[in-house]
Structure 1
Amino acid sequence: MPDIKVIIPAYNEANSIGHVIKDIPENVDEVIVVSNNSTDATEANAKKAGATVLQESRKGYGYACLKGMDYISQLPEKPEIIVFLDGDFSDYPQELEKIVEPILQRDVDLVIGARVKRWREKGAMTFPQIFGNWLATNLMKLFFNARFTDLGPFRAVKYEKLLALNMEDKTYGWTVEMQLKALKKNYSYEEVPVHYRNRIGVSKVSGTVKGAFMAGVKILTWIFKYSFK
């Protein structure tokens, strides 16, 4: 197996983070949990479960992901694949092996875990999430002839390809930025259907009106920015 590192942004996920880490396959080289200014036992529970724990005081999903990437950039040995995974236990971490399979078997650059309806627990995705995914992926299809159906956070990407994207979004637009930049660079990509369940705790994005609105604005901003570049 190649060297695979997992980055998990986590904000107050004390009740779920241990479950997430426990279910990650053993062939992963390192699990990196980035505590995004958590005030509960997220960091302690992640350490107890065997993860490397980093702290990022600036709130924002993108800030946490960038912190994880900065840590990896300073390691003497670089990984071949980076997997991004949420810390709320809504994804099934054991499905990581099928997320990375297209990279290993077919040399694909980017793989998105698509939260398909038939494998999605009732209520696991809110209406704003479902509509936002539909709108964003259809706009990408319209402007870029893309085949994406989801902006799912469970994803794998070749490390060198990830670096070449020069990721910059600090908050809600991280996932769509990655997909748009991959399209612009003509990366090969695939979607893999994954299971999705109700998260542990309340979502800080889709669980609030403000979070859902801000995420929608950020996603549309990135799409229109790249559509007219």
Structure 2
Amino acid sequence: MPDIKVIIPAMNEGDSIASVIADIPKIVSEIIVVNNGSTDDTVENAQKAGATVLTEDRPGYGYACLKGMDYIDKQSKAPDIVVFIDGDYSDYPEEMDKVVAPILEKDVDFVVGARKKSLREPGSMTPQQVFGNQLATFLMRLFFGAKFTDLGPFRAIKYEKLKELEMEDKTYGWTVEMQLKVLRKKMAYIEVPVRYKRRIGISKVSGTVKGTIFAGIKILGWIFKYSIK
């Protein structure tokens, strides 16, 4: 069996984190929740649900993901695959088998769980999220010939390929940075349609004006940075 580890960045996801952990398939060897400044019971609920809990005090989605990667780097045995998923229960963790399948069966390097409109619960993505995804993926098609349709946070990648990417974004640009570097390094990638539902709680990105603006700036910044290289 392949060794699969899951990284879940989490900030104030106390109401949802246990459900996310409970629905992750048993093929996963370790679930790593990175507490990113929570003031609720995220840590306690994640620990009770059986996850390894790390703490990253510096706020930022990328900081949390990098913390999880650093933890894995220091382990004696490297995993085969790392899966990233959000802690708000908007994704369906039980679909993880489907997300990792192209890596296991077709030797694909990187898989994005694409939130297809037909599979999304109405209202699960805000208008600004939909627009941002459409704009970002359009620009990636325009500049890089990409086939991406989504910047979905539910994604899987071979661990050795993840290391090659040398990820660096600390905040909102994490997902688009990963996809741009996959394109630049000509890694084999594919999208897998996944279901998507209304999240539990308020989004730290699309749920605030500040978060939406900064996420947009970060995403476009990464795209234009790579388009002029």
TM-score, with length taken from structure 1? 1.00
Structure 1 position 64, deviation (Å): 0.1
Confirm or deny that 1:203 pairs with 2:206. no
Structure 1 equivalent of residue 33 of structure 2: 33
Deviation readout 1:41-100 (Å, 9 max, x if unpaired): 000000000000000000000000000000000000110000000000000000000000
Instruction: Give 1:164-175 correspondences, 5 Å limit.
Output: 164-175=164-175
SS at match of 2:28: coil
Paired with 1:139 and 1:127, the residues of 2 have a C-alpha distance of 18
| One-letter amino acid of the structure 2 residue matched with residue 157 of structure 1 | I
The equivalent of 1:85 in structure 2 is: 85
Distance of 1:185 and 1:168 partners within structure 2: 16
Determine whether 1:6 maps to 2:3. Answer: no
For residue 211 of structure 2, what is the amino acid of its counterpart? G
Give the structure 2 partner of residue 227 of structure 1: 227
Provide the C-alpha distance between the structure 1 equivalents of 2:16 and 2:76, rounded to a whole number of angstroms.
Answer: 31
Paired with 1:140 and 1:133, the residues of 2 have a C-alpha distance of: 11
Taking the aligned partners of 1:135 and 1:114, their CA distance within structure 2 comes to 15
Matched residues, percent identical?
A: 69
The number of residue pairs the alignment matches comes to: 229
User: Pairwise mapping of residues 53-202 of structure 1 onto structure 2 (< 5 A)?
Assistant: 53-202=53-202
Report how far residue 4 of structure 1 moved: 0.1
The code of the aligned residue for 1:189 comes to: Y
Amino acid corresponding to residue 155 of structure 1 in structure 2: R
Unaligned runs of 5+ in 2: none
Deviation at 1:188, TM superposition (A): 0.4
Q: How does the TM-score come out when normalised to structure 2? A: 1.00
Amino acid at match of 2:149: T
Matched, 1:42 2:42: yes
Q: What runs of 5+ residues in structure 1 fail to find an aligned partner?
A: none
How many Å apart are 1:27 and its aligned residue? 1.1
Structure 1: 4+ residue segments shifted above 2 A: none
CA distance in 2, matches of 1:144, 1:157: 20
How far apart are the structure 2 equivalents of 1:35 and 1:205?
17
Distance in 2 (alpha carbons) for counterparts of 1:44 and 1:167: 29
